[in-house]
Amino acid sequence: MTDQIQNLPDRPVSTESIYELMMPPRCGIGLIVPMYSHAESDDSKCVAAYLEENGVLKGIYLNADGEWVRSSVTNSDLDGVVHNAEKELTFMNRLASEIKEIHGNDYLENYEPDIQFDAPVGFQSKLFLRHRKLSPSDFQEILSSPQCTDALPMYQVDNRLAGVVVSENPIGNSPPNTVFLYFHPDISTWRIVDSISSQADQAVLNQLHKETGDKIEQHYDDFEMILGPPDSTHI
């Protein structure tokens, strides 16, 4: 599998290049957020970010040799960090300390929150979904999230949802999009099957529903379809 981090150019990169690491084929990266630019780099180019890779939170940054490397600071409690402000702050402070040892505090600039307007489809879903198979109350949290306009259950495992479809609230200039996701049990987080315009033909939506079911079938011996087309092969 291609190591997308090592393939980044040996220099500060644009935030677009950082966000592209979330795009297909993704290669294990389910979420990434630009963290710091360097005060002396052109056009506020990125020198550090944090990400979820194969279910583990970690940082990436440009080291003293001008190469992109993964941080030694990691946390495998993805749900605990993303959905707990105190744990998130602790993780981010530890990660920031490691990065500042390389770049120095005076040369790093934080990105403004609106940098997320440039994030790809699926970014919001990875933030508001609990990183576990969803209980009924977890699913209700999705529906009440300002980042979500609608959500539907697709597949369940052991009476908890392992396949959902989410309509994200558009941010910035992005169009409304529907995201198909399944819960990957080996890395304890959600993976995006695909996304498509919310106005797509029903036949296309049905196909993505099937592809989500195929992913569920790869990872679970027993599952149940909750909602889907009547001719589904996963009933």
Prediction pTM value: 0.91
Looking at the fold, whether 93 and 140 belong to one and the same domain comes out as no
88 and 37 within one domain: yes
73, 100, 118 - which closes a domain: 118
Which residue stretches of the chain have pLDDT < 70? 1-2, 25-27, 41-42, 172-175, 230-235
Same domain, yes or no, for 134 and 196? yes
Burial of 100 (0-12, 13-18, 19+ CB in 10 A): middle
**Residue 42 to residues 106, 117, 227, Cα–Cα distance (Å):** 16, 21, 50
Last residue of a domain, one of 78, 97, 118: 118
Cα three-residue angle 35-39-42, rounded to 5 degrees: 95
> Looking at the structure, do residues 41 and 112 belong to the same domain, yes or no?
yes
Specify whether 25 is located in the same domain as 95: yes
Distance in angstroms (rounded) separating the CA atoms of residues 3 and 5: 6
Q: What residues make up the domain containing 176? A: 123-225
Both 127 and 155 in a single domain?
Answer: yes
For residues 146 and 215, state if they share a domain. yes
Residues 103 and 162 in one domain: no
**What is the C-alpha separation between 217 and 38, in angstroms, rounded?**
45
The whole-number pLDDT of residue 199 equals 83
